[in-house]
Amino acid sequence: MTNAGNLLTIKANSIAHPKASCVCCSKFPYIKACWVASKSEEGSFLKMAIKNGTPVSINLQTKVTQQGQTQDFFFDIEGQIVTIGDTLYIRYEELQENGESIPVTIKIMPDGGVQLTRSGEMRLKLKFDYRETVKTSYRTPYGEMIFGTYTRNLHVSLKDRPTSGKILIEYDLFMADELVGNYLIDLAFTA
């Protein structure tokens, strides 16, 4: 993690501040709710904190390449950001083609890792660590499937004046060691 003026950048291969102190409160003064929470307390605090989070405008681009075919998706949506302890959360609703709204949470951890969780009937939790393969599960009504992600590129930059940030993730998705596809997530937010 580096701090150049008002710009705070967390790179995937850097080590951030220790968990024992809440540096986020001083680094991110615009966040209205911040608690030093244990793992067991984090879920309930997150639900409460998101409701009190700072509203943000989100510009999201995703690119999916599967079997030689590429699709691009662009979204301009509203969301919230909040800090709990030394972790930053970005939350928004993803609108599906059938009109269903799926809650999405992006968790930016102090070690530079990023976790994306899509809730709903099918729950997906993907963790991204720079140049590492991470196994994860995808819960469906028919059972649980095991996936893996290999993160080729991961960059997070945050700015406190104005409140804004950018997350870029390029990753490969595997199911049972077979490549499903190559993916890109490019998210920018501004309060």
The C-alpha atoms of residue 117 and residue 9 are separated, in whole angstroms, by 22
Q: What is the mean pLDDT of residues 99-116?
A: 92
47: helix, coil or strand?
helix
The C-alpha atoms of residue 91 and residue 49 are separated, in whole angstroms, by 11
Say what the pLDDT of residue 150 is.
96
Q: What is the mean pLDDT of residues 97-112?
A: 90
Q: Cα-flanking dihedrals φ and ψ of residue 148, to 5°?
A: -140, 145
Residues contacting residue 106 through CB under 8 Å, at least 6 positions apart:
89, 90, 91, 114, 115, 116, 117, 167, 187
Instruction: Inform me whether the pLDDT recorded for 55 exceeds 80.
Output: yes
Say what the pLDDT of residue 51 is.
56
Q: What is the mean pLDDT of residues 154-159?
A: 92
Ordered by where they begin, the domains of the chain are 2-190 (2.40.128.20)
Find out whether the peptide bond into 162 is cis, omega within 30 degrees of 0.
yes
User: Higher confidence at residue 149 or residue 22?
Assistant: 149
Q: What is the mean pLDDT of residues 118-130?
A: 86
